[in-house]
Structure 1
Amino acid sequence: MASPTPPSPGLPTVNRHGPELISPAGVTPRELKPLSDLDDQGGLRFLFPFLLFYSNSPPIRGREDPARVVKEALGKALVYYYPLAGRIREGPNRKLAVDCTGEGILFVEADADISLEELGDSMRPPCGLADKVLCDVAGSGGIIGCPLLLIQVTRLKCGGFILGIRLNHVISDTLGLRQFLKVAAELARGAHAPSRPPVWQREIFRARYPPRATCGHPEFEDLMVDARSAAMMLDPKNMVHRSFFFGQGEVASIKKGLPHRMVSKSSISELLTACLWKCRTIALEIEPDDTVRLSCTINARGMRGLGVPPGYYGNTSVYATVLSKAGHLCNSPLGYAVELVKKAKEMVSEEYVRSSVDVLVIKGRPKYTTVWNYVVGDATKVGFEEADFGWGKPVHGSVAGAFPLVSICMKYRTREGEEGIVVPIMLPERAMQRFQEELAKMTDEPTVADDRHGVDSTAIRSTL
């Protein structure tokens, strides 16, 4: 089956220095800048964790300390991205804006008694080191009035380092974060200015006046559900957190479940999304007549008519949601789920994006529904490898893990050199076992062990 999360090495000792604020390394405007109506929705009001792992490639002479180099580069980059050094304020009707105070982002340097080689494939999410290499400073983990970026540089005993990031998602998405890190890396390597200047222009995703919903948006429907079941599905403490690697062999096996006419017309992203949704629905043992949802996050950058310029670093993704009766999804061939995934992608047009933004304003900037919903994002093309601070490209860089209802697909190269996609997922313990069994059926592999990695696929990972 798709190989599950490998066991972590023994957790190392990580010694953190005291936190400090990095302010822009130059004068920046003091102003209040409203976020877009896409930015301030309820579903983005959280800290998004990322991890980038760097080897001990020889740095530029005289600049051997990655913490110092990264810290100086961030200060320079904040001159251009000065809103990131501000604080979020909330106004009437839950409308958010960033107060460009120049207070700075939170920075922590640390040292760990482990090497990159010892980490091996445990770098992939959910990394067992996450709690140690992602700073969580008391009083700074909120959305309103707190630092918008929390960054930790952890030096490893091999000379490499880990860059841990917590991003306030309302200010930027993954592509915007990549852009900021790329600029900081360019400045670290001696550039005098960004190769691509940042663009604010949050009015691009402002609701029309008056706002009008012209498309269906079941992702924001309010439905009743058993409170106990909902609480279990939303509380990470009651869930198992694992990830699964899909290489060429796993993808080829899953394709066998499609009719021949669909094989060449279905992308790997569509195939894996459909497979995960079906296996997850079966694993949760949902009543056959209950309606289940799949919400695919679709990036609107480059979409005709919207005019999103290069350099824009705000949120640009909308949810494209399709529905099915649980019983029909579970009992139908995989092609049925793939067709629904395709339908979700095809419905997203300029008008759909405008309608999504308007619905958010009409409904008071809600969070997506949590009723039998599964949100899947594709970050395989984000490109964190561009963040070269002088130590070469990161060996691996991605979101740190899954969320209770959300999985994100990411590129990954195993220590054996096999390239593929890794997908983290969170499920209640019993459901995780059933999920692995269903996934094994689709990949034509036994559920007890993964012969390539020597991993017991029934082993339970602790939550991130």
Structure 2
Amino acid sequence: MTSTPTVTKSPPALIPPAGPTPCGTLPFSSIDKTVAGSGFVNLMQVFPPPSISAARKDQGAVAAVAAMRNGFARALVPYYPVAGRIASSGLAVDCTGEGIWFVEAAASCTLADVDGLDSCPLLIPGELLLPRPPPGEKLSDLILIAQATRFTCGGFAVGIRFSHAVFDGHGAAQFLTAVGELARGLKAPSVAPVWDRDAIPEAPSPLPGQLTEFRLVTQVVDISAESIARVKDEFKQAAATSTGEVCSTFDAVTAVVFKCRALALASALPDETEVRMAFAASTRHLLRGVLPTVEGYYGNCVFLACATRTGKAVREATLAEVVGAVREAKEAVPARFAGWMRGVEQYDVPPLDYSTVTLSDWSRLGFDEVDYGFGAPGTSGDVHSVGGDVPVNDEMTMMTS
């Protein structure tokens, strides 16, 4: 299309819980508090027109959005903390039962006109596809807000902003799955939600200090299946004479990014400067026996892993050796996490500088399986605004499409 696409938004509307909910204050867990400074996570799910027509061929877009709104209202009953607000301390949820803000929007183009929202930068500014609360309501007080944008082809984009202090990625996907199930008419979510934040002991180790907010550079890189297979094969051959370990897709992708980043920094940093590859590792399995039940728990279960080497070491290493460094950082997480819970290990945050790259793996969280009645999304993943201040480090996301 020749003209610049536009998005027309309706005023934000409040969706309260569909029934009575408990009141009171629920404190965050010690893990929630470590990521509370991360603010909001931006999620975009794109539903192409074929899935709309297949799932709701007898209903229009208005009915589809109405069903989605009803799904949110019903989900906010079992997930009643989400209908509340972040307490003034920033360390708890006030269960006020107010609800979530929901925005309906219409784009002036088809999804095909904007490359299916699968390009970087987006052909529609991300902020137009993400919800904002009404004037007078602070975003930082909210837990989740949503926007459904309809395209002229019949496709949809659903933009979600959720508080990282309340959800990790797995937990947010669990909530949105429940919204979809209830929007499609199920009587109850297939997984019952569990709060139980107080079951996680307060770690004696001090929490990291308040982080400076940066505008990060987001990169989109396609790493072919053939390249991933080559890295896995190289590691398999190298490990055959030693440990016999297996290289996962995550290991391979992370190693390629780490090595390419080190090569890109070769002319900018001295050889002995440390370069870092940081990534969040799930600790959900490590909380069995700590939480009454892990199933249904939607709080944060993450611990930051970090592979650190000199730039020269990463550049000169084989990819199999870089995979080994990534695996070493992963394998250290259980002991480091247990030490942090006992207060003998710091929750170290790597320096957010030019020598650090952070990678988030969204490929198995479940966002790509959420069905609000539109069918499964064609693509789903993180959304970042482009522009602003000079960046100090890179952030990359393994996304599902």
Q: TM-score, normalised by structure 2?
A: 0.84
Aligned with residue 327 of structure 2, among 337, 342, 345: 342
What is the Cα deviation at residue 234 of structure 1?
A: 3.6
SS in 2 for 1:341: helix
Cα distance in 2 for partners of 1:346, 1:29 equals 41
- From 33, 47, 64, give the equivalent of 1:54: 47
Partner of 2:71: 73
Residue in 2 aligned with 1:408? 397
* Seq. identity, %: 29
1:118 aligns with 2:113: yes
Shift of 1:142: 3.8
Aligned CA distance change for structure 1 residues 126 and 103 (closer, same or farther; 3 Å): farther
Residue of structure 1 aligned with 2:366, choices 362, 383, 393: 383
Provide the rounded CA distance (Å) in 1 between the counterparts of 2:41 and 2:149: 18
1:41 is paired with a residue whose SS is helix
Counterpart of 1:325 in structure 2: which amino acid? T
For 2:87 and 2:226, how far apart are their aligned partners in 1?
A: 49
2:171 is matched with 176
Amino acid at match of 1:356: W
2:236–2:246 CA contact under 8 A, matched in 1: no
Q: Secondary structure in 1 aligned to 2:76?
A: helix
Partner residue of 2:185 out of 177, 185, 190: 190
**Secondary structure, aligned partner of 2:75:** helix
Match of 1:302 in 2: 285
Whether 2:134 is the aligned partner of 1:134: answer no
Q: CA deviation at 1:205?
A: 3.1
Contact 2:363 2:400 in 1 (8 A): yes
Q: How does 1:244-255 map to 2 (within 5 A)?
A: 244-254=221-231
Distance 1:29 1:43, change over 3 A: closer
1:281 aligned partner: 262
Indicate conservation of the 8 Å contact 1:41/1:366, yes or no.
no
Question: SS at the partner of 1:28?
Answer: coil
Change (3 A) 1:29 1:278: same
Q: CA RMSD in A?
A: 3.2
Q: How far 1:125 sits from its partner (Å)?
A: 5.5
Change (3 A) 1:199 1:36: same
Deviation track 1:75-112 (CA, whole Å, cap 9, x = no partner) reads: 11111111111111243xxx600001112211110000
What number of residue pairs does the alignment pair up?
A: 379
User: What is the letter of the counterpart of residue 108 of structure 2?
Assistant: D
Whether 2:52 is the aligned partner of 1:39: answer no
> Does structure 2 conserve the Cα–Cα contact (< 8 Å) formed by 1:154 and 1:162?
yes
Matching residue's letter, 1:131? E
Cα distance in 1 for residues equivalent to 2:2 and 2:30 = 43
* Contact 1:398–1:410 (CA under 8 A) maintained in structure 2: yes
Is the counterpart of residue 316 in structure 1 residue 316 in structure 2? Answer: no
Q: 1:268 to 1:10 in 2, by over 3 A?
A: farther
Give the whole-Å Cα distance in 1 for the aligned partners of 2:151 and 2:371: 17
Give the match's secondary structure for 2:280: strand
Q: Match of 1:113, as an amino acid?
A: S
CA displacement 1:34-89 (0-9 Å, x = unmatched): 01111122565311000011123231634642332211211111111111111112
- Give secondary structure in 2 for the equivalent of 1:328: helix
In structure 1, the residue matched to 2:352 is: 370
Structure 2: how far apart are the matches of 1:255 and 1:322?
Answer: 19
What displacement does 1:325 show?
1.7
Q: Which amino acid aligns with 1:385?
A: D
Q: 1:24 to 1:60 in 2, by over 3 A?
A: farther
Structure 2 residue runs without a partner (length 5+)? 386-390
Partner SS, residue 29 of structure 2: coil
Deviations 1:200-242 (A, max 9, x none): 011243324xx259xxx9xx699xxxxxxx99x9434xx5x43
The question of whether the paired residues in 2 share the 8 Å contact of 1:114 and 1:156 is answered with yes
The separation in 2 between residues aligned to 1:310 and 1:9, in whole angstroms, is 49
- Please tell me whether residue 28 in structure 1 is matched to residue 21 in structure 2: yes
Could you tell me which runs of 5 or more consecutive residues in structure 1 were left unpaired when the two chains were aligned.
1-7, 223-229, 413-464
Q: Equivalents in 2 of 1:171, 1:344: separation in Å?
A: 26
Contact 2:232 2:248 in 1 (8 A): no
State the Cα distance separating 1:119 from its structure 2 match.
Answer: 3.3
Contact 2:12 2:132 in 1 (8 A): no
2:149–2:156 Cα contact (<8 Å) kept: yes
**1:120-139, Cα deviation, whole Å (9 max, x unpaired):** 35425653332211123455
Compute the displacement of 1:254 (Å).
4.7
Which residue is equivalent to 1:356?
Answer: 340
Q: Distance in 2 between matches of 1:141 and 1:252?
A: 47
Query: Does structure 2 conserve the Cα–Cα contact (< 8 Å) formed by 1:85 and 1:100?
Result: yes
> Which residue identity does 2:179 align to in structure 1?
A
